[in-house]
Amino acid sequence: MARSPMMQLALLVLSLRIVGATQSNLQSFTVFSDPIFLRKGEVHNRYVYPKKLPDEIVQKFAGKTMHLKSVDLDIVLVNNKTGEKVPAPLYMTYNHHHALLLGKTDGLMKLYNHSKDKDPLDPHSSPDQTAKHRGCAMKRKSFEALLAAALPESQRGDISVFGGASGAEYRGTPNRLAGPYTYDVKNPESFMVLMHFINSHGVPEDHKLWECPCTSRSNINVTNGTIDGKKPIAFQCSQQLLDQGNTGCSLATYEGGYRCCEHGVFLTEELPGPDSPVDQIETKFTFEYYELDAPETKVARPTNQPSCCDATAGYLINSSSQFASLEYDIPKCADGTPPDQCVHVIESVEYFDADGTHHGEDEEFELVHAWGHQHVAGLGLELYRVSTNELLCQTRPKYGTGVQAGDERGFVVGIPPCVWGPPPLSPPPKIRRYEHLRTVARYNASERHHGVMSLWLLTSASLKPGSARVEFQI
């Protein structure tokens, strides 16, 4: 039986204290992205121009690998008169999801130029067949397709990716790996950020901009299958959601979600005037890494991101881990339903790390870190090993109670993860590539919600002898 998230965190803290002597080898540095500028209700969903890492870091790791232990995100508002930077609360700047790319400057510039005029939400933004996997940059295959489309094969190994299916909860979710496990980055020179942010500054909370409502300006043409003249990502809901008649699974019933949340869209019914205030927003990343000569680097275990899991994926249908619908709606439960029964539940079964085929080696991995991505009203995710019905991990969102950034009332401000490692932590579960895992997703259904998600962010380490590092840590 899996330990509770809070117990896992307590054990992780204890473990870090026990090995405190090694922490002196951990260093940190902080970077800020270039700013974006948004008016009230406006959506940003593009990559921001690559920016160079600190000279000291570039010089230190030139031609070498940097072993990271954690990557922390903050979102800041910048006073364009004084330059003061303060944390942005979610009710002003909502992080729908983001991704961070690290690597050589040349490769990142090629990625940026390939993507700068394309919306990650648009599956037709690339002329080749890899576009169908791009999704909204939330799964590993989305980034693999982007790298394949923009870079020669010889350069793809120079790019590492963090985030993706990581949104509002990221700021309050610890992602430090325990024991010898690390996130590895080769030749770190620059970084590039995908920011899918929504400016909800001054918008009443009951408008729920974080759910990306379609407005009266949203031109939904069911006959042509388009929104504002463009074909959105195909609806690929599981049979369970289709049997429920879920309104988030068809353009004919679609009222809100990321398909109405493209770059430059305004989610408010009233458009801001030309003289309306503009917010200047930046992302702030803080990295923890081992010094080059630290003894921990000699035994570091590089990690990767498995393709599992999305609760909207097929339930024992092809057992595929390919792109599913990613989002769905929560219908309001019937009046008079007891609160403890007013819960919407879906589940899916997928391979741990496969695309629906049995090509390649059935490699074994250790699962070392896991948390679930859910939106407001999420009650938690459960991850089971199908063959034994063993509960591997259970996560429950933490909700804010105040007004300060990081404790915003009613918002998901963190999702305590499951963490495995050396004692006193539980040993990492061993999972084969083609093992089936079941996801169970629960949401509070006392109100209707649009465009919710239930995704796992898993980190694993290969048990294959002499296994090479894998580039993706999503």
The string of DSSP codes covering 37-48 is: EE-TTBEEEEEP
Cβ atoms 354, 308 nearer than 8 A:
no
**Token pair in block for residue 468:** 């090479």
Counting other chains too, the contacts that 51-57 makes at CB distance below 8 Å and 24 or more residues apart are 51/190, 51/191, 51/192, 52/105, 52/189, 52/190, 53/29, 53/102, 53/188, 53/189, 53/190, 53/191, 54/29, 56/29, 57/29, 57/188
Q: How confident is the model at residue 288 (pLDDT cuts 50, 70, 90)?
A: very high
Task: Reply yes or no on whether the pLDDT at 19 is more than 50.
Answer: no
- For tokens 């921990």, what's the residue? 296
Total domain count for the chain? Answer: 1
The pLDDT assigned to 307 comes to 86
Q: Which residue has the higher pLDDT, 142 or 126?
A: 142
- Could you tell me the residue range of the domain that residue 112 belongs to? 5-473
List C-alpha distances in Å: 143 to 118, 181, 194, 263, 471.
14, 22, 11, 19, 10
pLDDT 10s digits, 320-357: 445 588 899 999 999 999 999 999 999 999 999 875 55
Task: Reply yes or no on whether the pLDDT at 121 is more than 50.
Answer: no
Q: How confident is the model at residue 138 (pLDDT cuts 50, 70, 90)?
A: low
Task: Reply yes or no on whether the pLDDT at 125 is more than 90.
Answer: no
Task: Reply yes or no on whether the pLDDT at 151 is more than 70.
Answer: yes
| Range 247-256 average pLDDT | 96
- Angle, helices 105-115 vs 140-150, to 10°: value is 100
Task: Reply yes or no on whether the pLDDT at 105 is more than 90.
Answer: yes
Rounded Cα distance, 402 and 430, in Å:
40
The pLDDT assigned to 120 comes to 65
Calculate the average pLDDT of the chain: 87
Task: Reply yes or no on whether the pLDDT at 153 is more than 50.
Answer: yes
Strand partners for 213:
256
What is the reported pTM?
0.89
Secondary structure element (H or E) that encloses residue 399, with its range = strand 398-399
